């Protein structure tokens, strides 16, 4: 499960992305049942239904990482549900993100 991995920030984009965001929120809540989620285990979630992948990666690289940890993003996992392999496109978009 994504929230068990130590994920600090989860961003969902595209069609019905708010459902992904909500699912991650509920998984994080369920992990701790009726207890308060510890700060170091809280997953911040956002959905980006109208942004391009480039805009989303810029948000991840510049805004999300710095606002959450005040440090650059060291690890990024992109789950891209597409019929085509877009790994090179996503890597290039991330490299160009400012």
Kindly report the pTM of this predicted structure: 0.80
14-28, 37-51, 62-76: segment of lowest average pLDDT:
62-76
Paired with 47 in beta bridges are 12
- Residue 8 pLDDT greater than 90, yes or no: no
Q: Look at residue 68 in the predicted model and tell me its pLDDT.
A: 61
The Cα angle at residue 58 between residues 55 and 62, in degrees rounded to 5: 145
What tokens were used for 44?
């911040």
Mean pLDDT of the chain: 86
Domains of the chain, by residue range, sit at 2-96
Confidence of residue 66 (pLDDT cuts 50, 70, 90): low
DSSP classification of residue 36 = P
Average pLDDT value for residue range 74-90: 87
């Amino acid at each position: 499960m994504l929230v068990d991995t130590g994920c600090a920030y989860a961003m969902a984009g595209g069609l019905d992305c708010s459902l992904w965001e909500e699912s991650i929120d509920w998984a994080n809540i369920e992990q701790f049942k009726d207890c308060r989620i510890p700060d170091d285990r809280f997953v911040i979630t956002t959905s980006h239904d109208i942004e391009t992948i480039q805009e989303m990666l810029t948000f991840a690289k510049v805004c999300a990482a710095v606002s959450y940890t005040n440090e650059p993003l060291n690890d990024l996992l992109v789950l891209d549900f597409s019929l085509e392999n877009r790994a090179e496109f996503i890597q290039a978009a991330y490299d160009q993100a400012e």
